[in-house]
Each structure stands twice: as structure tokens, then as C-alpha cells.
Structure 1
Amino acid sequence: MIQNVGLIGLGAMGSGMATSLRRAGHKVQVYDVRADVARAFVQDGGVACDSLAQLGAACEVVISVVVNAAQTEAVLFGSDANEAAAGCADSKESSSGCAAAMKPGSVFVMCSTVDPNWSIALEKRLAALGILYIDAPISGGAAKAASGEMTMMSAGTPAAYAKAEPLLNAMAAKVYRLGDSAGAGSKVKIINQLLAGVHIAAAAEAMALGLREGVDPAALYDVITHSAGNSWMFENRMAHVLAADYTPLSAVDIFVKDLGLVLDMARASKFPLPLSSTAHQMFMQASSAGYAREDDSAVIKIFPGIELPKGAGA
């Protein structure tokens, strides 16, 4: 068993993943720009690192659960640790990131949704430093992350898996090995995000039409979730709408980013994606209307002439 595993980013997914690792018996060292969040996590066991370099030096496997490629660059190579975890795109290489402190033969596991070509390039960049790499985006939501039941779409060398596989299995019920080099995991994740974004947009459109037509939203929700038109996203996200709870578990701007990556990947091969394009515009509209940091179900707020549920306590 690998005793020392590092996890960077204690957000909705990262905190659950760290909990799953601790539950499996690993000694978990964590870093988050919010020092109070890191301290709260380690009250039940583990170590809160004061810097990314400290974490990198102490751990055989480092797992990054930040938002995007820019944050991952900063976590690995950024000149300032606080800017790194906050999402600064400054990627100047220096000793303040974790890469310079990681020992040769250690493993970096990247769990963000990114451009596959960027992930392929990162594998080569880390290999030059003697660091193994697993391209391992994740899906399933915060509840499944906390219970160790999420899905991981991964790709990497056999040597990287030999060290990290027990940790991956502790965090995910399904760990898909999709290739022996980086890129395949990110491509599959982007296709998953295509479906997730389109399904959320379609669910919002359906609920909005029901509201416009005067259908009771709770009754509509009950019927659809027991009928062929249901989707996991309708069932999950429209529950947020009914509760009038737009606390961001996954924010509107996440799908501005992720559907943008979907379209970028397709554009490179001149492949048409009409539904993805429309869904992307819907999330862009919601973001520009002031809902960027609300739950992604807030995309329903772009529809005119409807009265949204006010929740049970309203």
C-alpha cells in the first residue's frame, strides 16, 4: 500500500476523493489555497501541506483535482502556490510548483477536463523530469466521489498504473484504462461532457416549456423521471430547479469551458456538432446574464416569460 499520496484541490470532487483515499487506509497529504478547508479535512487524519513543493516532495503519487489546464500548469510549474490553486494561468516554471519537488519515478494523476493535445504534451513534459503521468478525468458528482463510486477515464503507461492503480481503485468504482499514453482519457471525457451539457440544456428547455404552458413543475418532474424521456441530468438538475437551489456543485461556467473544449476538438477535424453548439450558446447566454457561478441548472434562467419555482421554504 502506498502510504503517502498527495491530493491538490479540495473542491466538491477533490474532498470526496481524499476522503475515499483515507477510508482505504492511505496517508493523505492535501493542499488547497483555502487553508481552513485543508485543516478541516485533516482533523480526521492526514496532513495539510503548507506548499505544493512540500506535498510533491513527500508523496509517491500526486493527484490534481483542479478546474482546468491553466490551473494544472500552475500547480505543477507555477511561480506562486496561492495563484496556482486559485487558477492563475501563469505557467513560469519554478520550484514553487510540485513538479520540481517530485522524485523521479513518482506519478502525477491529472483529473481535470482538458484539451487532449495539451494532456499529450504534458505527459512528454513530465517524462523529461522523470515523472510518470496518468491522464485521468473523472465523472459522477460529489456524492459518488465521497463514496468512492465515481468513474475515471484514464490513460497512461503500465509503469504509472503499477504505482497508482490501488489509489485509482480506492477513488472510483470504474477505472477505465483507455490507452498506454495520454490523450485517450481526455477524449472520452470530452465526449461525456458533450452529452452532459446537451442533456442539461435539453432538460432545462423541457422544464421551461412546461412552466410556460402552466404544467405543475413537480408533477412534470415526477412523470418525466418515470418515463422514457428521462435522463440522469434531468432527474438530478431539475431537482435543483424545483428546490430553487442554485448552489454550484457544477457551475454554468464549467460547461462554457467544457463544451468549448468539445467544439475545439471537433473543429480541428472539421466535424459538425449542431446540438453541442446550441447548448454551448445557451450556457454562454446564462453566463453573460450573470449566472456564471450558479449551478449549471441555472441555464433555465435564460428562458423568457416563465416563473421559476421558489422552493419549499419560499
Structure 2
Amino acid sequence: MAVRNETRVKEFIFLGLSSNPDLQIIFFMLFLVMYLLTVAGNLLIVVTIYLDAQLHTPMYFFLCNLSFIDLSFSTVTVPQSLVNFLSQSKTISFRDCITQLFFLHFFGGTECFHLTLMAYDRYVAICNPLRYATIMNRRVCLLLVVSTWIGGFLHACAQALPTIQLPFCGPNEINHFFCDTHPLSLLACSSTFFSKTADLFNSGSLALVSFMVLVTSYTYIISTILKMSSDEGRQKAFSTCASHLMVVALTFGPSAFIYLRPSATIPGEKLLSVFYTIVTPWLNPFIYTLRNEKVKKAMKKLGGRKKTLLHVHMN
């Protein structure tokens, strides 16, 4: 009750990416196309892996889960942004704003933990190939995936709870196109030291744990790959790891600039936010499918099934 009494602002207004109507139409078209491709690409990966028995392995199980996370992550921000581009009233209620912030960090934190898990999976597959099936059995895979979702939930709680305790007395204009901890903290009418410290500590802890696991895993992976006698084996291993490392760089790079920084606003912050909330989920399906022969073959097989079913139905 104390929080509700202190919170005078009942809704916020997004300033968005631009106040220029022509630019807003351009942004609307770009966001719409990229979001539709994100939905189609990630759903295609999920359906393909689910229907093809040859892809029922830990690696593709994790890839399927990553696609679902990417789809959910982009859905947190993009639909609201599309509405705002065409609307005169770019408002969001206090409750919806906090809800958006929570799910942004829920799916974002889960993705960071999940990419770290995928690095561990590659480590076991390349460094301990004979024990891979035993170590990464179905039960272990499920427990590991559940642990990434729990980690994402705890990360989101640690981000949202300090923010919701802040009193917002006005102004209520968010200089962003979605609700996040830093833009909201700038509107608080009391000291934000605790919330900013909690934000930095939480994001820093997530980044540190992920970084240590990633560096350790890939140190062993690269060392093992270089010792392989087969050129084909080295090329295949490097190709698999390159896709994962590319996604890791696209995810962690912009996020680090946003969340692991001093409290001052950095130039191009909103453009960086566009990159990791919209561009990265759109690119991930292309990165994994274009560099993965098994997935491409499975998609072609799925396309062949559709043509056969359509032919039978028409006849």
C-alpha cells in the first residue's frame, strides 16, 4: 500500500525513436517486417526440430528452446512499439510498464543463461564425445533447461522489484520505446542509488557467471579442436561453434553496453536497444539454419511433406 500511495504517476508516455511522422512510418514498416520474419523463422525451427526425429538430440533441443526464447523476447517489446508508431497516444499504464520490464529481463536473462548452457553442451560434445550421451541424457537436459528459466525468473525479479519501489511523481515521459530499468530510474523523484546498485550488481553477476563459463568452455573446446587429426572434423567442430559464438556476440555485446555502464545515458542507447531486442532475434534463425546442414535438410524434408500432402488433398 505504501508503494501505491507514493506512486502518483498512473501511466507513462513513450517518446519513442523519433517524433517525425515520416520516420515513424518507416520504423513501423521495418519493425513489422523484421518481427514477422522473427516469428516465422523461429517457429519454423521449433516445428522442424519437433517433427524430425533425427534432430531429437540435446544440441537441437537447446536450439529449439533458444528459438522459443527469441520469439518471446521480441514479442515483449515489438507489438507495443508497432502500435505506438501509428498511435497519437503513446501511453502505457504503470502496471503494464512494470510487467513489460519484468518479462523483458525474464526472457533476456533466460537467453543469456541458455547460451551459456549451449556452450557447456558443445564442450561436452567435443571434449568428451564418448561420454556425451551419458552426461547429456534427457533428464539432465531438462533439468539444465529448467534451471535457465529459473535463473531468468530470479534475474527479472531482481530487476523489477527495486524499480517498482521507486516513487514516480512526474514527469512521466520515458525517453525510450519500451520500459526498462534505466529510463524509468531517470523519472524517479527520490534517490535511485539502491535501484541502480542492485541493477548493476544483478546484471554484473549474470554477465560474470556467463563469461566465466563461456571462456572456460571455449578454452577447452579450441584446445581440443586444434588437436584433432581430421581436417573434416576440425571444420565441422569450428562451424558449429562459430554459429554459437556469433549469437553470443550479438546478444552479450549490445547488452553489456546497456546494462554494465555508469548511470549516465550513453549515445545511441536506443539504437543499441533496437539491435538486441529486434535485430538479434531476427538474425538468430538465419545464423543457425544457414550454417547447419542438418537443419536445412530437415526443412527441405518438411517442405516436401507439405507439397505431398497438398497434392494428395487436391487430388
Q: Normalising by structure 1, what TM-score?
A: 0.28
Larger Rg: 2
Query: Which has more helix, going by share of residues?
Result: 2
Q: Normalising by structure 2, what TM-score?
A: 0.28
Instruction: Report which structure shows greater RCO (CA 8 Å, sep ≥6).
Output: 2
Query: Which has more strand, going by share of residues?
Result: 1
